């Protein structure tokens, strides 16, 4: 009898253990997550809800381990995506600028934790970037802090703000400081669709359309006047020995050539000086190279980006670069200040340098 009772107790105990170990049924069915996103654009770029407008008809790409979904915002800039499984999602938003065809509005939001049975609500602000993807991201012209007039550590930094690979084959970087007897550097002198006043022009190897010189999404490319460690000359300077490219004038017997850094080549044989830009006031342009006859002007349709900078906030000589290339100008730092001009965010481009750029110290070649 005692043995029988022990067996019953043992069976009850075993059933309790097994029931406690059994997997509990789900309380919710997966695939019932919901995402509600409002897309806004603030033309003052302050992300202020009061001054923001809804972005209508923007393409919204939702990605996760389950694949990619595409949606389009409604009149109120809103999208609702339902029946989502529990996962971590990323959102990217794309919309053509309503006024400027050279600008695209871009928004990105990562690490959105969507849980089945719940609604995730968020607001995303879009920012402008160049539709070509390639912009001039930083200009260092002022020179380091010194008293011997040293400014040979200048550089121009490019950036690909797009989400696809671009190519620099045949592209041309120019200093546009001529045409002073006309409308000024970078103006469309004869209203014929080009800008005038190119003084220096150095090009990447190859021809437009070739694909040998990629610039990858979110990649920085540093183009140094002299790709050396300038700290060896001036302790307050910067190291450019690891620059991506070097301006090299093959018509100058004195120009420095770092053999470990590929060269941008001078297009003007009559220019035997190094590629140098004005410390406080100049116009810098990069074009795709389809227009290579530059002395009569650069076709605006070939220009990827252009930046004008001036020292005086109210210059006697008015802004000159055509507004189709740059609607404003950067207020440059003083000579020999060790400061540079950099976009507030990498790739941030409204075609108004006065809005897009800020002064930073020290310069940051190859990074933001």
Instruction: Considering only CA atoms, give the Rg of the chain.
Output: 28
My answer on whether omega of the bond before 362 falls inside 30° of 0, hence cis, is yes
Burial of 41 (0-12, 13-18, 19+ CB in 10 A): buried
Do 223 and 200 contact (CB within 8 A), yes or no? Answer: no
Predicted pLDDT of residue 97? 84
DSSP 101: T
Q: Annotate 259-310 with three-state secondary structure.
A: CCCCEEEECCCCCCCCCCCCCCCEEEEEECCCCCCCCCCEEHHHEEEEEEEE
H helices within the chain, ranges in order?
2-21, 353-356
- Lowest mean pLDDT across 90-99, 191-200, 238-247: 90-99
Please, where in the chain does CATH 2.60.40.10 lie? 33-130
CA pair distance 225, 362, nearest whole angstrom: 18
Predicted pLDDT of residue 5? 53
pLDDT tens track for 20-69: 554 455 555 788 999 999 999 887 665 677 778 899 999 998 988 898 88
- Topology, domain 132-368: Immunoglobulin-like (2.60.40)
Predicted pLDDT of residue 12? 55
pLDDT tens track for 98-108: 877 778 888 88
Please, where in the chain does CATH 2.60.40.1260 lie? 132-368
pLDDT at residue 248 is higher than 80: yes
Q: What is the CATH number of domain 33-130?
A: 2.60.40.10
Q: Which residues of 264-288 are buried (b: 16+ CB within 10 A; e: fewer)?
A: bebbeeebeebbbbbbbbbbbbbbb
């Amino acid at each position: 009898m005692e043995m029988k009772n022990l067996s019953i107790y043992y069976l009850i105990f075993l059933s309790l253990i097994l029931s406690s170990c059994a997997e509990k049924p789900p309380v919710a069915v997966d695939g019932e997550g919901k995402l509600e996103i409002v897309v806004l654009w603030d033309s003052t770029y302050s992300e202020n809800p009061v001054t923001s407008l809804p972005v209508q008809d923007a393409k919204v790409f939702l990605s996760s381990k389950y694949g990619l979904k595409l949606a389009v915002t409604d009149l109120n800039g809103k999208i609702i995506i339902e029946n989502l499984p529990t996962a971590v999602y990323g959102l990217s938003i794309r919309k053509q600028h309503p006024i400027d065809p050279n600008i695209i509005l871009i928004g990105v939001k990562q690490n959105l934790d969507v849980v089945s049975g719940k609604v995730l609500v968020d607001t995303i602000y879009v920012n402008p970037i160049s539709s070509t993807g390639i912009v001039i991201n930083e200009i260092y012209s002022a020179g380091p802090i010194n008293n011997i007039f040293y400014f040979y550590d200048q550089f121009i930094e490019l950036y690909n703000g797009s989400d696809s690979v671009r190519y620099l084959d045949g592209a041309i970087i120019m200093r546009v400081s001529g045409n002073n007897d006309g409308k000024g550097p970078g103006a469309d002198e004869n209203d014929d669709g080009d800008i005038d006043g190119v003084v220096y022009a150095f090009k990447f190897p190859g021809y437009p359309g070739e694909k040998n010189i990629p610039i990858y999404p979110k990649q920085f490319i540093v183009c140094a006047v002299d790709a050396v460690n300038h700290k060896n000359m001036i302790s307050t300077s910067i190291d450019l020995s690891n620059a991506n490219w070097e301006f090299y004038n093959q018509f100058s017997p004195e120009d420095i050539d770092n053999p470990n850094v590929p060269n941008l080549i001078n297009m003007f044989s009559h220019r035997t000086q190094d590629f140098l830009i004005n410390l406080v006031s100049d116009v810098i342009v990069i074009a795709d190279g389809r227009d290579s006859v530059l002395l009569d002007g650069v076709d605006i349709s070939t220009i990827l980006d252009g930046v004008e900078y001036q020292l005086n906030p109210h210059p006697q000589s008015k802004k000159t670069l055509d507004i189709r290339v740059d609607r404003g100008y950067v207020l440059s730092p003083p000579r020999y200040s060790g400061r540079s001009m950099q976009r507030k965010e990498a790739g941030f481009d409204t075609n108004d340098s006065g809005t897009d750029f800020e002064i930073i110290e020290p310069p940051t070649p190859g990074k933001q």
